Amino acid sequence: MTPPRPTQLAQRLVSKQIRHGDLVIDATAGHGHDTLFLAECVGLTGRVLAFDLQEPAIRSARTKVEAAGLSSRVAFYQTSHARMAEHAEADTVAAVMFNLGYLPGDDHEFTTLAAVTLTALAVATDLLKSGGVLSVVCYPGHPQGAIEALETESWMAAKTAHGWQVAKYAMLGTLRPAPCLLIARKP
């Protein structure tokens, strides 16, 4: 048996928390894998808000969602995930997914940054309704990613003091630091 990749595991766990009609957020749209997954989960009456700073990411994600015929369920925003609260109200979101790092196939120097991600995570906690889920896939195998993964894990661990259920999943014994999934459920 091969363990699932963190992105696959994130989708499995998040799918158990989403109901048709829910509002959900893809905080880092990238190539649209999570955006499409979320659009499928929310059903006809649900809504997905997808954020990314990079125009190629928004274009790629939009193409993927349109090809699946689900574009009516998704609103795209070419802006920082730290600005999610401009598009959703507190305590209304069932799930927020982050897939940090850089856009595969694009400039690897353009990455998510720990300070902005921590701000976005704080925003996400306010937007999540009770029982909502927050998933973050981190990539510590590159310098900025290592910093971001450490700071994100520390931030998530601190949420346990406030009643959040938090877990970390990662492969062990890899040559480079393996991607990991941090997942949390709001009390």
83-105 pLDDT per residue, tens: 999 999 999 999 999 998 765 66
Domain positions in the chain are 6-185
Give the angle subtended at the CA of 127 by the CAs of 9 and 179, to the nearest 5°. 25
Assessment of whether the complete model's pTM goes beyond 0.85:
yes
Give the separation between CA 19 and CA 111, rounded to whole angstroms: 32
Beta strand 165-170 with 180-185: parallel, antiparallel or unpaired?
A: antiparallel
Q: What is the pLDDT of residue 173?
A: 83
Contact (CB, 8 A) for 167 and 183: yes
Indicate the pLDDT class of residue 2, thresholds 50, 70 and 90.
Answer: confident
Least confidently predicted of 36-50, 82-96, 107-121, 152-166: 107-121
Give per-residue burial for 33-65: e unless 16+ CB within 10 Å, then b.
bbbbbbbbbbeeebbbbbbbbbeebbbbbbebb
For 6-185, CATH gives 3.40.50.150
Structure confidence at residue 108 (pLDDT): 60
User: Would strands 180-185 and 74-77 be described as parallel, antiparallel, or unpaired?
Assistant: unpaired
